[in-house]
Chain A
């Protein structure tokens, strides 16, 4: 069971970024997927989750108008797209899968993280 994320990105303010998270070793549609970020020198921040089986999503209010979580079940991959990037969006972005199928809680398997740098 593994989550492998896409590589580092450098974006300009106002642009969008799309990070991918490819799952392997388990039934992709059986588990929710969370997205969490960590800005430099800051703590962990939960962004939202997606149910790959239904496409249903829940977003943290802070990101509600800028983040879109999607998935492609044919290739077992989840995506996090963040728009209207600002410098304070510079962070490592993680995908994380819960411990148990059909459960939202307890992120037990994590991707390796993707560094997104926003700079003019």
Chain B
């Protein structure tokens, strides 16, 4: 199983600041097979980024993804109040399609 480790576990920032979230895999993940999701309490997860760097339909351009191999990054350029949530990376390179443990982005 490919283990994904996200860091930090919690990120405390203010609206308007830049957020950088990391997802590290124990073994190489094809970029095409890496996705990022946003999850808010009481809602279903929402696909933000697929193929490591492609934004899903309707996702604002302040969200961007990058990385390859074992290191991937989700960047939110200027935080809006609605961006505070939990973020997960997921790999589809090999089954089981594991998720990272999540990064909670909270308001400072």
Q: What's the least CB distance linking A33 to chain B, in Å?
A: 13
Contacts of A96 in B (CB 8 A): 44-45
Q: What's the least CB distance linking A41 to chain B, in Å?
A: 11
CB of B98 within 8 Å of the partner chain? yes
Contacts of A62 in B (CB 8 A): 96
Contacts of A61 in B (CB 8 A): 1, 96
CB of A106 within 8 Å of the partner chain? yes
Do A110 and B102 touch (CB < 8 A)? no
Q: What's the least CB distance linking A34 to chain B, in Å?
A: 8
Do A105 and B88 touch (CB < 8 A)? no
Do A99 and B45 touch (CB < 8 A)? no
Do A108 and B96 touch (CB < 8 A)? no
Do A108 and B99 touch (CB < 8 A)? no
In the complex, which of the residues B47, B86, B90 contacts A46, with contact meaning CB atoms closer than 8 Å? B90
**Residues from 33 to 48 in B contacting A, C-beta threshold 8 Å:** 33, 35, 37, 39, 44-47
Asked, given contacts A44-B37, A44-B99, A45-B99, whether A99 binds B56 with beta carbons under 8 Å apart, the answer is yes
B residues sitting closer than 8 Å to A (CB atoms) are 1, 32-33, 35, 37, 39, 44-47, 50-51, 56, 86, 88, 90, 92, 95-102
* 8 nearest CB pairs, A to B: A105-B92, A110-B44, A60-B96, A106-B50, A44-B99, A43-B102, A46-B97, A108-B47
